[in-house]
């Protein structure tokens, strides 16, 4: 047989026992067998080594190196065995058409259309009732699956816990005094008593920045909101709700680390850059008699990202 004929694929069932296609692909199978044996041995050593490493509670890298290295070598050996020491082929398999004979197809379609269709056509009313019953069941069954999951939003997305006279506190619950921040400093504040709560953290979080010593007006109509240069903005980015945690002091920008929206602190935190479409809502501030910072009211707008019901 010429080299060419060996390459012609045959069917497994028809191949004779002495056919070269059933011989190993390797020219020198004994040598390949030795190499594979060495690979397997090394793999066994590593796998046993994993057991030892586990026993002595070795470092994770040692566990992984022995476990992974052992599996890897066993795998390489097995692939080489399959590739070089098993029947080299090529073999061929006939592909029978998937489609059935025309008579069978007709019989199948007839069974559905004539037998089934006839039954349904004759009893259209019953069929309709059954369909309606199943449909209603489907809708009703979804109620407990979906509606039980949680409360409806109602107005909660429009309000935070800030109100008239709420004291600003830091993460430890300490009230913020007019002397606390130097010019160009920033801190995260929460409504008093809520600094440890989910809502206080996730919804009410506010950045307090001291811009100057004088009362600071960030926009027209906000003349009293920034006493002694203290201004406060919602810390929730209006893009996707990440905390706007970076304060660029030189440019007076608040920067969101998630998608790089930037807000102008001196101008009502209108977005200057990035994907955020709306300014950060501002919290109007005031001092109590002892010089502690309070909010005058809630934020001027809903905080956080956009949603359908938002005006």
Partner 1 sequence: MSQVVNTKRVQRESSGPYGKLGQSLNELDDRLGIAKGGRTFLDKIFPDHWSFMLGEIALYSFVVVLATGIFLTLYYVPSQDLTTYTGSYLPLYGQKVTEAFASTVNLSFAVRAGLLMRQMHHWSCDIFIGAIIVHMGRVFFTGAFRKPRETNWVIGTTMLILAIGNGFLGYSLPDDLVSGTGIRIADSIILSIPVVGSYASFLLFGGNFPGTSIIPRFFILHVLIIPLVILGLVGAHMGLLVRQKHTQFPGKGKTENNVVGSPMFPVFMAKTTGFMFVVAGFTALLGAFAQINPIWQFGPYTASRISYAVQPDWYMGFLDGLLRIFPAWSFHSFGYTIPLEVTIPAVIFPGILFNLVMAWPTIERKFTKDNEMHNLLDRPSNRPKRTSAGVSVAVLLAMLHIASSTDVIANFFHLTLNTVLWSMRILCIVLPIISYPITYKICREMQGFAGAGKRKTTNVVSRTTEGEYLAAPAPAYVDDMVHEHEHDALPVPTYVLEGEAEAAESGGVRRIPR
Q: For residues 190 and 168, what is the distance between their CA atoms, to the nearest angstrom?
A: 6
CB 109, min distance to partner 1, A = 19
Task: Tell me how far apart the 2 most distant CA atoms of the chain are, in Å.
Answer: 107
Of 287, 281, 301, 280, the C-alpha closest to 167 is 287
Using the contact rule CB under 8 A, the part of the chain among 149-157, 173-181, 213-221, 285-293 near partner 1 is: 149-157
Report 40-69 residues binding partner 1 (CB under 8 A): 54, 57, 60-65, 67-69
> Across the beta sheet with 246-248, what order do the strands follow?
246-248, 253-255, 262-264, 270-273
301, 309 contact by CB (below 8 A): no
Report the site for partner 1 in 268-297 (rule: CB under 8 A).
Answer: 271, 273-278
Triad 6, 12, 16: Cα angle to 5°: 65
- Give the nearer residue to partner 1 in terms of CB position, either 227 or 293: 293
Assess 147 for contact with partner 1 (CB under 8 A). yes
90 binds partner 1 (CB under 8 A): yes
Shortest reach from residue 215's CB to partner 1, in Å: 27
| Nearer CB in complex with partner 1: 152/290 | 152
CA-CA distances (angstroms) from residue 66 to 37, 102, 241, 278, 286? 18, 60, 45, 55, 65
Site for partner 1 in 206-235 (CB under 8 A): 235
| Two structure tokens written together for 238 | 């209006």
**Is 98 or 289 the residue whose CB approaches partner 1 more closely?**
98
Q: Give yes or no for residue 184 binding partner 1 (CB under 8 A).
A: no
Identified binder of partner 1 from the candidate list 26, 89, 212, 247, rule CB under 8 A: 89
Tell the smallest beta-carbon distance from residue 176 to partner 1 (Å): 15
Task: For residue 259, state whether it binds partner 1 (rule: CB under 8 A).
Answer: yes
The residue from 1, 140, 146, 290 that contacts partner 1 (CB under 8 A) is 146
Strand partners of residue 169:
175, 190
**3-class state of residue 29 by DSSP:** helix
Using rule CB under 8 A, residue 8 touches partner 1: yes
Q: Is residue 102 part of the contact set for partner 1 (CB under 8 A)?
A: no
Nearest to 5 by CA among 90, 68, 82: 90
């Amino acid at each position: 047989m010429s080299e060419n004929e060996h390459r012609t694929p045959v069917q497994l069932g028809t191949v004779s026992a002495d056919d070269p296609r059933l011989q190993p692909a390797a020219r020198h199978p004994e040598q390949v067998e030795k190499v594979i044996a060495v690979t397997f041995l090394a793999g066994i050593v590593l796998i046993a080594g994993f057991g030892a490493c586990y026993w002595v509670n070795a470092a994770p890298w040692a566990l992984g190196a022995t476990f992974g290295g052992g599996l890897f070598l066993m795998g390489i050996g097995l692939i080489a065995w399959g590739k070089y020491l098993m029947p080299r082929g090529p073999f061929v398999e006939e592909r029978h058409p998937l489609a059935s004979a025309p008579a069978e197809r007709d019989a199948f379609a007839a069974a559905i259309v004539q037998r089934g269709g006839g039954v349904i056509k004759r009893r259209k009313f019953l069929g309709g009732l059954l369909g309606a019953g199943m449909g209603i069941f489907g809708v009703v069954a979804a109620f407990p699956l979906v509606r039980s999951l949680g409360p409806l939003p109602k107005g909660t997305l429009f309000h935070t816990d800030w109100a008239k006279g709420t004291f600003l506190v830091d993460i430890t619950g300490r009230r913020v005094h007019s002397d606390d921040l130097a010019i160009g400093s920033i801190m995260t504040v929460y409504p008093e008593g809520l600094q440890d709560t989910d809502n206080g953290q996730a919804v009410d979080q506010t950045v307090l920045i001291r811009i100057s010593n004088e009362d600071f007006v960030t926009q027209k109509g906000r003349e009293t909101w920034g006493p002694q240069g203290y201004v406060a903005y919602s810390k929730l980015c209006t893009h996707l709700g990440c905390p706007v945690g970076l304060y660029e002091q030189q440019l007076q920008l608040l920067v969101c680390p998630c998608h790089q929206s930037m807000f102008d602190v001196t101008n009502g935190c209108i977005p200057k850059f990035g994907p955020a479409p709306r300014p950060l809502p501002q919290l109007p501030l005031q001092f109590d008699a002892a010089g502690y910072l309070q909010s005058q009211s809630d934020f001027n707008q809903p905080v956080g990202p956009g949603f359908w019901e938002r005006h």
